[in-house]
Amino acid sequence: MKIWNKNIKTSNSSIDAFLSGEDIVLDQELFLYDIEASIAHAEELKAINILNASELKKMVSALNKLAKLFSINKFKLDQKI
């Protein structure tokens, strides 16, 4: 079920494939940029005291680890989710 049709009880796989079939390709191209944006967002959350220094450090560390794993093909995005 897609978020944009959560109230519809039926599914049409050909429409789903047309609308989101290649999303994974784009997601893979943007993944490292998304991580950079997430780090910047976390830094701003720290700047306005929503995150503390320890939380920021943990988030940045986890995101950097994920980026490294993705860069060496140890983490892959897939369409199953």
| CA distance readout (Å), 11 to 1, 14, 16, 54 | 8, 9, 8, 44
Helix residue ranges per DSSP H, 4-74: 13-20, 23-47, 53-71
Q: What is the pTM of this model?
A: 0.70
51, 45 in Cβ contact below 8 A? yes
Distance CA 20, CA 2 (A): 10
Which pair of structure tokens corresponds to residue 70?
């993705």
| Tens of pLDDT, residues 5-45 | 556 666 666 666 655 556 778 889 999 999 999 999 999 99
Predicted confidence at residue 80, as pLDDT, reads 62
